[in-house]
């Protein structure tokens, strides 16, 4: 398991860096799909197979197909040469460093908490991953669930309006 | 695996996402960097939820996915609309927000 | 609601409807407005007579229309108190008011604001009716102000004339001064008694400490001083002559100025339980009666003379209510309303004939040309002078006899002197206008007024002759006294009768005074055996004091107007312009300055926004880290 974790970690960091660093948007998109798959692997390690499946279906499947479609549609390959100037690089690097140090310090100095819940890996395995999530989603979180459906409706209408030729 | 290892990986991903947003000027790449940041947060949620033996974090991941899907639709719609008007997706050419 | 209540509320409804109708439709019905408005008030008058008949054969009642304000311990209904007092007033107001409406048809013919004039004339009558029948102090106060507002509108009817609009403003502002005291009085009354309905107030008043009652009564009296033009707030009334003459008649005779007397009579319980306040009322009344008559004796403007005579006669009424002779006060109010309305209408008729000329010195010898006007004017003047059998004799004598028998001898002497002056100034007016040689501008065609104006004058003069007999002396056995005095049975007797003076002797003295005044005027202006110029020189300072109206306007101008103007200029220039505006503008300028600087941040570049956002996140994290 540990070996898997390290492989995944290296893979996801590498692919994320490549998303940011590669010149072509299409290459970035492909690296992003790779990172999504690796993330799904992480979820499997953490005993969340349902989320792993969702990750691949929603992100790697739906969203990334959309992104790649847009890149193709706009023929973005010819915009490879949008250059970043030096002071932008400098500021981004600075912020990258400071933010990373702060997050690392936060994680490392944070006071540890003892596990409090009842849903240990054994329980989840016995009951079944999907059933546990489903019960929570349709009882405790029913209201946010309904709200998110309205959010999606708004997004559909918004996307339709934006994509229309004439407003 | 200890929790901190997962969180460090999530932190690295998040900072890479931030750097991408600040560094790149291609609107689509900026959007993809945002997705990296989302994913970093998702990883953190699932790891912590697994450590504390809770399910609530996983539920949050689902909601974040919903929001990300909605955001994808809107962001890409805006990209197309902007591209149609401006003929480019260099975000430095979009300065209509100023007074 | 039973029939009585329906009739009660129909009486104010007609003038109110009239106000709305003429205001909205006046331009379409044009010349008919006057006739319709008069008819509406006429209907009110007939209804008042019906109600008067009902009430005089039974007893008073309270007619509630609807609950008005209920908040905490304050409960106010829109309801009418109908008793003999309010009925007498109602008949007087609608009757005299109706006649003035009819007269106005002729007087205001061809005026540009014809419909507006009648609309507000109706509103004036409505306000006065409501003022009379309201059964609580809040409703009274509302219509107390409404009457003031109507007077403002009507005095300023010819608003394009600066003097008219100034006079209107003056009337309103001076009234407001008195009304301020009035409102404070109402607040104090509510604070102490927790109610403002007349009946409940009257039940509580006897139990209150004398000092509180005195304070309330004096504050309420301040309102009466303003509204009834008593010293020292009388200055608005003579200036109010700038309005059309029928308006003056309405203000002086039927509405407005009588409100103060009526208010004291209505609230007699409060005043009678405070001898101090009542004595103050007597003092102000006596002072005003004399001063106004004194000023009137040397004026040359015929309307001003009559205006000062109104102030003087109101002084008599306040003397009456100040000594607790409420019935006598109301009787004088009624008879004064009739003959003062008459005097104003006839003065208006003279003005009409003279094309708006008001100066005594430019008149004379008009009797042959306008006999009806002259005769009716003389009837009014005789009534004012207190010559029997005209109404003024009975009513004024009732007051003076009461003043004497209750032991206020000084007031009585001043009252008799005032009677002499009254007879003198009004006959000076008559002799110089209607008799003697003519000083009229020869180009003027002096003519009698049309019938629509003379009929009201004739009717009023008949009333002025007849109405006095209701109060045949001795007054406390007369019809009027027996009819009305039951309403004042709750009053405390604070000034009992101290002597048994015969009314015959007192009346004889009064009549003698009146005749003396007429004789003096006759000698000076008809026989001319003594030249008025010589008299003027002989009493030089006193004459100029009278001619300059005791310098009231000048004193007010110096003491109040200048001070207020100076203070206002200070507040305007220094406080407002420099400090407040400076602060506001300074803040605005500061923000504008910094905005220009800060604007740079908002450059529309997405990257810079994202950068700011990231820096914010870093700062927040840092804050949580060091916390």
How confident is the model over B1-23, as pLDDT tens digits? 688 888 889 999 999 998 888 88
Mean pLDDT of C579-584: 85
pLDDT band at B99 (very low <50, low <70, confident <90, very high): low
Measured distance between the N- and C-terminal CA atoms of chain A, rounded to whole angstroms = 54
Task: Point out the residue among B91, B96, B98 whose CB comes nearest to the CB of C607.
Answer: B91
Let me know: does C331 contact C460? Beta carbons within 8 Å. no
Residues of B in CB contact (< 8 Å) with C are 18, 21-22, 25, 91-92, 94-99
The CA distance from C371 to C448, in Å, is 8
Tell me which chain B residues have a C-beta less than 8 angstroms from the C-beta of C602: 97-99
H or E, element range at C68: strand C61-71
CATH top class, domain A1-75: mainly alpha
Task: Provide the shortest C-alpha distance from residue C616 to chain B (in Å).
Answer: 13
What residue in A sits closest to C617 (Cα-Cα)?
A99
CA neighbor of C371 nearest in space, from C307, C454, C291, C431: C454
What residue in B sits closest to C612 (Cα-Cα)?
B22
Q: Is B54–A151 a contact, with Cβ atoms under 8 angstroms apart? A: no
Q: Is B29–A108 a contact, with Cβ atoms under 8 angstroms apart? A: no
Task: Point out the residue among C607, C611, C622 whose CB comes nearest to the CB of A102.
Answer: C622
Q: Is A74–B71 a contact, with Cβ atoms under 8 angstroms apart? A: no
Quick check: B85 contacting A, CB < 8 Å?
A: no
Tell me which chain B residues have a C-beta less than 8 angstroms from the C-beta of C604: 94-98
Mean pLDDT of C529-541: 69
Measured distance between the N- and C-terminal CA atoms of chain C, rounded to whole angstroms = 76
Q: Is the pLDDT of residue A15 over 90?
A: yes
Beta bridge partners of C522: none
Q: Which residues contact C365 (CB under 8 A, 6 or more apart)?
A: C434, C435, C436, C437, C438, C440
How confident is the model over C175-230, as pLDDT tens digits? 888 888 889 988 888 888 888 888 888 888 888 888 888 888 888 888 888 888 88
Average pLDDT over chain C reads 83
pLDDT band at A13 (very low <50, low <70, confident <90, very high): very high
Task: Provide the shortest C-alpha distance from residue A119 to chain B (in Å).
Answer: 5
Let me know: does C131 contact C259? Beta carbons within 8 Å. yes
Task: Provide the shortest C-alpha distance from residue B98 to chain A (in Å).
Answer: 20
Task: Provide the shortest C-alpha distance from residue B41 to chain A (in Å).
Answer: 11
Tell me which chain B residues have a C-beta less than 8 angstroms from the C-beta of A100: 11-12, 15
CATH top class, domain B3-93: mainly alpha
Let me know: does B84 contact A70? Beta carbons within 8 Å. no
* Ranges of H-type helices in C358-498: 371-385, 391-405, 409-434, 451-466, 479-484
What residue in C sits closest to B25 (Cα-Cα)?
C607
Tell me which chain B residues have a C-beta less than 8 angstroms from the C-beta of A46: 6, 46-47, 50
How confident is the model over C456-507, as pLDDT tens digits? 888 888 888 888 788 776 777 777 888 887 777 777 777 777 777 677 888 8
* Ranges of H-type helices in C78-209: 84-107, 114-133, 137-155, 162-193, 198-204
Give the pLDDT confidence score for residue A79 in this predicted structure. Answer: 62
Tell me which chain C residues have a C-beta less than 8 angstroms from the C-beta of B99: 599, 602
Domain ranges in chain A?
Answer: 1-75, 118-167
Measured distance between the N- and C-terminal CA atoms of chain B, rounded to whole angstroms = 52
- Is 0.95 surpassed by the pTM of this model? no
Tell me which chain C residues have a C-beta less than 8 angstroms from the C-beta of B98: 602-605
What residue in A sits closest to C618 (Cα-Cα)?
A99
Q: Is B22–C606 a contact, with Cβ atoms under 8 angstroms apart? A: no
Give the pLDDT confidence score for residue B42 in this predicted structure. Answer: 92
Give the pLDDT confidence score for residue C535 in this predicted structure. Answer: 67
Give the pLDDT confidence score for residue C79 in this predicted structure. Answer: 86
Q: Which of B35-44, C273-282, C534-543 has the lowest mean pLDDT?
A: C534-543
Cβ atoms within 10 Å of C538's Cβ, excluding its own: 10
Let me know: does C338 contact C96? Beta carbons within 8 Å. yes
Residue C66 has φ and ψ, to the nearest 5°, of: -165, 155
Tell me which chain C residues have a C-beta less than 8 angstroms from the C-beta of A103: 621
Tell me which chain B residues have a C-beta less than 8 angstroms from the C-beta of C610: 21-22
Return the ∠ at Cα C163 (arms to C157 and C165), rounded to 5°. 45
How confident is the model over A46-83, as pLDDT tens digits? 888 888 998 898 888 888 888 888 888 887 666 666 66
H or E, element range at C79: strand C74-82
pLDDT band at A166 (very low <50, low <70, confident <90, very high): low
The CA distance from C310 to C243, in Å, is 16
Q: Which residues contact C255 (CB under 8 A, 6 or more apart)?
A: C93, C97, C124, C125, C127, C128, C147, C150
Task: Provide the shortest C-alpha distance from residue C584 to chain B (in Å).
Answer: 25
Task: Point out the residue among C607, C618, C625 whose CB comes nearest to the CB of A99.
Answer: C618
What residue in A sits closest to C610 (Cα-Cα)?
A92
What residue in A sits closest to C621 (Cα-Cα)?
A102
What residue in A sits closest to B91 (Cα-Cα)?
A82
Q: Identify the chains in contact with C, defined as 3+ C-beta pairs within 8 A.
A: A, B
What ipTM did this prediction achieve?
0.89
Three-state secondary structure of C501-525 = CCHHHHHHHHHHHHHHHHHHHHHHH
What residue in C sits closest to B27 (Cα-Cα)?
C606
Task: Point out the residue among B18, B25, B98 whose CB comes nearest to the CB of C604.
Answer: B98
Task: Provide the shortest C-alpha distance from residue C601 to chain B (in Å).
Answer: 9
Q: Is the pLDDT of residue C390 over 70?
A: yes
Q: Is B13–A99 a contact, with Cβ atoms under 8 angstroms apart? A: no
How confident is the model over A102-161, as pLDDT tens digits? 888 888 887 677 778 777 778 888 888 888 888 888 888 889 999 999 999 999 898 888
Quick check: B27 contacting A, CB < 8 Å?
A: no
How confident is the model over C409-444, as pLDDT tens digits? 888 888 888 888 888 888 888 888 777 777 776 677
């Amino acid at each position: 398991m540990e070996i898997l974790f390290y492989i995944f970690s290296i893979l996801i960091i590498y692919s994320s860096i490549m998303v940011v660093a590669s010149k072509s948007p299409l290459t970035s998109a492909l690296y992003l799909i790779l990172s999504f798959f690796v993330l799904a692997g992480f979820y499997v390690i953490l005993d969340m197979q349902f989320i792993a499946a969702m990750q691949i279906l929603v992100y790697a499947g739906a969203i990334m197909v959309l992104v790649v479609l847009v890149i193709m549609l706009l023929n973005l390959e010819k915009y490879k040469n949008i250059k970043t100037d030096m002071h932008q690089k400098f500021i981004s690097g600075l912020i990258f460093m400071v933010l990373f140090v702060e997050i690392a310090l936060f994680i490392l100095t944070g006071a540890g908490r003892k596990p409090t819940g009842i849903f240990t890996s054994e329980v989840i395995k016995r009951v079944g991953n999907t059933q546990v999530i489903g019960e929570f989603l349709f009882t405790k979180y029913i209201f946010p669930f309904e709200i998110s459906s309205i959010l999606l409706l708004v997004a559909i209408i918004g996307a339709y309006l934006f994509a229309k030729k004439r407003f | 695996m200890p929790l901190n290892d997962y969180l460090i990986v999530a932190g690295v991903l998040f900072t890479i996402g931030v750097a991408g947003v600040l560094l790149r000027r291609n609107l689509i790449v900026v959007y993809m960097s945002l997705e990296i940041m989302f994913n970093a947060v998702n990883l953190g949620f699932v790891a912590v939820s697994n450590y504390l033996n809770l399910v609530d974090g996983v539920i949050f991941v689902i909601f974040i996915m919903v929001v990300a899907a909605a955001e994808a639709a809107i962001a890409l719609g805006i990209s197309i609309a902007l591209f149609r008007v401006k003929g480019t997706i260099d975000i430095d050419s979009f300065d209509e927000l100023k007074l | 609601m039973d029939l009585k209540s329906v009739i009660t509320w129909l009486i104010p409804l007609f003038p109110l409807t009239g106000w709305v109708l003429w205001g909205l439709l006046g331009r379409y019905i044009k010349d008919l407005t006057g006739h319709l408005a008069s008819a509406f008030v006429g209907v009110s008058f007939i209804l008042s007579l019906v109600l008067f008949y009902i009430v005089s054969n039974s007893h008073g009642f309270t007619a509630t229309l609807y609950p008005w304000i209920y908040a905490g311990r304050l409960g106010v209904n829109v309801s009418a108190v109908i008793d003999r007092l309010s009925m007498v007033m109602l008949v007087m107001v609608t009757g005299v008011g109706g006649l003035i409406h009819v007269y106005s048809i002729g007087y205001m013919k061809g005026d540009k604001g014809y419909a507006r004039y009648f609309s507000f004339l109706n509103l004036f009558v409505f306000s006065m009716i409501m003022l009379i029948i309201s059964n609580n102090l809040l409703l009274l106060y509302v219509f107390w102000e409404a009457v003031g507002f109507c007077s403002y509108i009507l005095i300023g009817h010819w608003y394009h004339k600066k003097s008219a609009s100034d006079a209107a403003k003056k009337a309103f502002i001076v009234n407001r001064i008195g009304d301020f005291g009035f409102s404070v009085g109402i607040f104090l009354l509510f604070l102490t008694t927790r109610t403002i309905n007349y009946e409940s107030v009257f039940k509580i008043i006897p139990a209150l400490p004398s000092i509180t009652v005195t304070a309330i009564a004096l504050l309420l009296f301040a309102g009466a001083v303003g509204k009834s033009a008593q010293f020292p707030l009388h200055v608005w009334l003579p200036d109010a002559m700038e309005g059309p003459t029928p308006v003056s008649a309405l203000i002086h005779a039927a509405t407005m100025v009588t409100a103060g007397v009526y208010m004291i009579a209505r609230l007699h319980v409060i005043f009678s339980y405070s001898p101090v306040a009542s004595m103050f009322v007597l003092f102000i009344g006596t002072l005003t009666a004399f001063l106004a008559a004194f000023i009137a004796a040397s004026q040359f403007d015929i309307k001003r003379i009559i205006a000062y005579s109104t102030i003087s006669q109101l002084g008599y009424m306040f003397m009456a209510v100040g000594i607790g002779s409420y019935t006598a006060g109301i009787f004088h109010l009624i008879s004064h309303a009739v003959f003062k309305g008459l005097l104003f209408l006839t003065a208006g008729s003279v003005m009409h004939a003279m094309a708006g000329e008001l100066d005594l010195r430019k008149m004379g010898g008009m009797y042959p040309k306008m006999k009806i006007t002259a005769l009716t004017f003389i009837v009014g003047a005789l009534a004012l002078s207190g010559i029997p059998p005209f109404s003024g004799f009975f009513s004024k004598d009732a007051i003076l006899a009461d003043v004497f028998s209750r032991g206020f001898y000084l007031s009585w002497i001043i009252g008799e002197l005032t009677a002499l002056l009254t007879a003198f100034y009004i006959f000076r007016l008559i002799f110089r206008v209607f008799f003697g040689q003519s000083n009229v501008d020869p180009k003027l065609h002096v003519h009698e007024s049309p019938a629509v104006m003379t009929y009201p004058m004739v009717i009023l003069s008949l009333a002025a002759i007849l109405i006095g007999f209701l109060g045949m002396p001795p007054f406390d056995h007369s019809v009027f006294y027996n009819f009305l005095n039951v309403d004042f049975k709750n009053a405390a007797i604070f000034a009992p009768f101290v002597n048994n003076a015969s009314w015959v002797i007192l009346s004889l003295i009064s009549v003698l005074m009146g005749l003396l005044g007429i004789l003096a005027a006759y000698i000076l202006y008809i026989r001319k055996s003594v030249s008025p110029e010589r008299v003027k020189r002989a009493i030089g300072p006193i004459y100029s004091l009278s001619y300059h109206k005791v310098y009231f306007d000048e004193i007010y101008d110096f003491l109040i107007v200048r001070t207020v103007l100076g203070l206002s200029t200070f507040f305007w220039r220094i406080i407002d312009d420099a400090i407040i505006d400076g602060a506001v503008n300074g803040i605005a300028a500061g923000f504008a300055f910094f905005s220009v600087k800060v604007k740079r941040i908002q450059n529309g570049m997405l990257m810079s926004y994202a950068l700011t956002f990231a820096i914010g996140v870093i700062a927040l994290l840092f804050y949580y880290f060091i916390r």
